Each structure stands twice: as structure tokens, then as C-alpha cells.
Amino acid sequence: MSKKKALITGITGQDGAYLAEFLIKKDYIVHGLKRRASMFNTERIDHLYQEPHIDDRNLILHYGDLTDSMNLTRIVQEVQPDEIYNLAAMSHVKVSFDTPEYTANSDGIGVLRILEAIRLLGLSNKTRFYQASTSELYGLVQEIPQNEKTPFYPRSPYGVAKLYAYWITVNYREAYNMHASNGILFNHESPIRGETFVTRKITRAMARIVLGMQDTLYVGNLSAQRDWGHAKDYVQAMYLILQQDKPDDYVIATGTTTSIRDFIKMTGEKLGLLISFEGKDIEEKGYIAGVNEAVFNENVGSQYLENIKMRLENYSVKKARKPLISVDPQYFRPTEVEMLIGDASKAKKVLGWEPEYDLKGLIEDMILSDIKLMKKDAYLRNGGYRILNYFE
Ligand code: NAP
Ligand code: G4F
């Protein structure tokens, strides 16, 4: 029997990388759409990527872009995929306020381009289509928790573009009888999460801080609440959605919501740090107010304790206090999504989907990975090599 073929757009992103790994394990041949970039941009899939001259490869990349319909049509024609996972998107909500037209083009019309390619190539009965829809559709939430029937109220150019994408997927399903489905995924993170999303920004910065490589992390709205799951669990849901006899739309979420402030505190706990917040609004600051040395030594290392003890000493005598966290309004959004919490009962019942990770497990995975990464940086810096700052 010939192997199933999947085409993943956005394969160089967080979800694309986990999904490619998952499908290759299931014996798929995975084709990925990759944008041309001025540098290699395949770090997340490097462990899966094979030398292009090898026969029988199970991962094949194609240059392409969601804004180029002819290119998309040609790739779909060449690959003749059994399944398309459309994960490509300008996925940063804040950036979508700076690039609204581009975001509409790639995240909204890009979806139409793929659906039209499937239809015009006569693949409507063969190719199943998954659209990466989002909890950002709920925006100014009309109901708590949010489920498949909750009305949408997007609050950003990103959310509005994804609203078009959601409905055009539903419309092609109804109009042309296509197997086209939406996964309405709530926030999901991992050690390979993009560095400018808040969770990864926090775990990277806190790793640098405990290793003495940075003093303070600047963030935006500390009170926003998100329903965070692990990307590894969420790509399994994408696969399950396309294995159903009937196409449909599903919420994928953990059902727990947590503020950014509490995410920071929980990350601190894993490092043995007690983090205390003082002040209000843009004057709010977080300080290291205690340390559990045994936990710190186990997860960070006793050689880094001195610096933390000094910060603690300054904190208690209220002198030369360095905040761990400070608010910078440049990270606020013109319109904010204050709270998201999903109800994934339908996915659990119909797909049999169950997440393995809870928030504690997710944070542990992320912070331990970033401690390792930053230790590597510290090692290189101490050896006289340049390391990148990645200021945002
Ligand atoms: P990500 O890490 O930002 O990855 C986005 C991917 O899309 C990257 O491979 C990127 O390529 C590619 N891309 C961007 N614009 C493109 C274009 N015009 N043409 C072709 N490729 C393009 O995002 P993610 O977290 O994996 O999310 C995957 C999808 O799920 C996205 O559609 C996102 O909007 C949606 N989503 C994410 C979450 C979440 O919490 N992660 C929740 C709900 C929905 P480069 O590597 O070249 O930049
Ligand atoms: O991590 P975020 O940037 O993710 P956001 O906006 O929720 O979007 C992510 O999840 C969506 C699913 O709901 C996806 F569709 C989307 O593609 C993306 O993956 O921000 C989370 C919250 C926001 O309320 C933001 O205002 O964190 C707040 N925040 C506070 N300080 C910050 C910061 N966000 C970022 N990125 N950077 C900050 O310094």
C-alpha cells in the first residue's frame, strides 16, 4: 500500500515542526511549504530534514508562499496530497496591527487560495483540508468558557483575517462537499515556541536572569489570561480531526485559564524563586522575594546562587533593588483579548482527544529547555564567542 501524503504549510513554525514529526512517525510522506528567507530557517525541523539527494525521503520541502496562488496551485498539483494542514500564517497578534493588509492577505485570502487549488484541480474528493483556526476569534468573549457555538468577536487584524479563513473553510465544505475542517485551537506553547510570544519570552528571559546574563524582563499586560496547552498535544488533535469520516469544527483547549502574572510566578517556582509583584498598572514590578536553595541548585545550579542571593539581599533592605519584571506599554495592544478559556468537550467526546500536559508540565518543559539553551550561550560567551541578544 502506498504511503499517505500530507502537505503542511508553515512547516518551519512551532506546530509545523511537531506535526511533521508526528506524521513521519505515522509513516506519512510529509511535504512542507517553506518561504524563501535570506538565512536557513529550518532549525525546528533539522532533525527530520534529509539530504535532498537521498531516495525515498519522507520529508520534502517546496518553496512557496500563501500570498502566491499560482505557486500554491502548482505545489498541490505536484504533491496530490491526501491531507493538507494549513498552518502557515503571520501568527503574531501584536504585529498584525503593524501589518494588517499583509496579515489579511496571508491569513485570510491565503486559505481561499488553497481551497480553490483543491477544487480547481479536481481534488475535492481526495484531499482533506485542516485550517488552523484560533481562540482569537472569540476576542471580546461573549461566553465563558468558549465552545464551538460561542459567537465570535475578533479584536485584531489577525483575528479578523482568521475569521474570514474560518468561514471560507466552512463555506467550501458546504458548497463543494469538501472534507474541510477548522481546529479552533487555544494558545499552545513549547520549548520551540516563537521567542516573541509571551510564554517563551518569559522562560527565555528568566533563564538568562538566573544565569546572571540579564537583569530585567519588560512585558505588557500582566493581567491578561490565557488557556495554555502544549503544542505536542495539540498537533495530535489536528491529525484526529482529519481522520474523521465527516469534516467538522472543534475547540482544542485545556479548560484552565491563567494570567501572565501567574505564569511568571509558576516559572519562578520551578526555579526555586518566590516572585512578588508590587505596584499597579504601568508601575507594577515583580521582584525575587525568596529562594528555595535546594530547588534552585537542582534546576539551575549552585554556582549561580550568589547573584540571586545578592538580589534578594537588596530586595529586603530596599536598596538598589532590581526588578525581575517591569511593565513597558510598548507591548500593549490597541485592542486586547483579556481572557480566554476553552471547552474542549466535543473534541474529547468525538475525537477521543486528551492532552497529556498540564500547565505545570508545560512550564517545566519550557524553562528547563531554556536553562540549557542559555547555559550554552553563557559557555560560548565565556569562551570569547559572540552570542546574539535578540532584543524585541
Ligand atoms: P508560527 O510558529 O509563527 O509558524 C508560522 C509558520 O507560517 C512559519 O512556518 C512561517 O514561516 C509560516 N508563514 C508565515 N507567513 C507565511 C506565508 N505568507 N507563506 C507561507 N508561510 C508563511 O505559528 P504556530 O504557533 O506554529 O501556529 C501555527 C498556526 O496555528 C498559525 O496559523 C497560527 O495562526 C495558528 N494558531 C496558533 C496558536 C498557538 O497558540 N500557537 C493557536 C491558534 C492558532 P517562517 O518560518 O518563514 O516565518
Ligand atoms: O503570547 P501572546 O503574544 O499570544 P496571543 O496574542 O494570545 O496569540 C497567540 O495565541 C493565539 C490563540 O489564542 C494564536 F492564534 C496566535 O497565533 C498566537 O499564537 O500574548 C498573550 C497575552 C496577550 O494578552 C498579551 O497582551 O500576553 C500578553 N502579553 C503581556 N506582555 C504579552 C506581553 N504578549 C507578548 N507577545 N509580549 C509581551 O511582552
Find the residues whose C-beta lies inside 6 A of ligand 2.
91, 93-94, 134-136, 186-187, 196-198, 201, 219-221, 224, 226, 260, 331, 333, 336-337, 340
Average pLDDT, the chain: 97
One-letter amino acid at 168 equals I
Ligand 2 pocket test, pick from 140, 187, 328, 391 with the greatest ligand atom count within 8 Å of Cβ, gives 187
- What is the Cα–Cα distance from 385 to 392, expressed in whole angstroms? 22
- Tens of pLDDT, residues 174-232: 999 999 999 999 999 999 999 999 999 999 999 999 999 999 999 999 999 999 999 99
Let me know: does 160 contact 229? Beta carbons within 8 Å. no
pLDDT digits 0-9 by tens, 335-348: 999 999 999 999 99
Q: Alpha helix (H) ranges present in the chain?
A: 14-25, 69-79, 93-98, 100-103, 110-120, 157-176, 198-210, 231-243, 260-270, 293-299, 305-316, 345-346, 359-382
pLDDT digit string (tens) for 36-91?
999 999 999 999 998 889 888 999 999 999 999 999 999 999 999 999 999 999 99
pLDDT at 316: 86
Q: What are residue 60's DSSP bridge partners?
A: 31
Is residue 284 flagged as an active site residue? no
- All cell numbers assigned to 28: 506519512
**CA angle, residues 309, 314, 316, in degrees to nearest 5:** 95
How long, in residues, is the chain?
392
Determine which one of 9, 12, 127, 134 is catalytic. 134
Strand order through the sheet with 273-278:
217-219, 325-327, 285-291, 273-278
Each residue's pLDDT tens digit, 16-46: 999 999 999 999 999 999 999 999 999 999 9
